[in-house]
Amino acid sequence: MTMTAVLLSWAAAAVCAGLSRLLAAHYWIGAALFTAGLALAIWIRRYGPAATRAGTLTTLPIVALLIVPGPTLPADARPRR
């Protein structure tokens, strides 16, 4: 793993940690940024091998937000029953 990949993974994980807190505090803004971040990470892959590696490394922490348990949704973001 190159130094660039290590720094990119660290930066993406730090951004995703902030995104996780934003999802807990302001669900709809966090969800919009989650969608935009994932779309950007996938879209950037079309610009050569280096961009493909960067997009792939960035996608991992974003998708991990879906898997790792976080705080429960705020009351206004929960589905109505």
Record the pTM. Answer: 0.73
Query: On the CB side of 18, how many CA atoms lie within 13 Å of its CA?
Result: 7
C-beta separation of 48 from 41 below 8 A: no
Q: With bands split at pLDDT 50, 70 and 90, how would you rate the model's confidence at 80?
A: low
Residue 5: alpha-carbon gap to chain centroid: 16
76 has a pLDDT exceeding 80: no
The per-residue pLDDT for range 16-57, each reduced to its tens digit, is 888 888 888 888 998 999 999 999 999 999 999 988 988 888
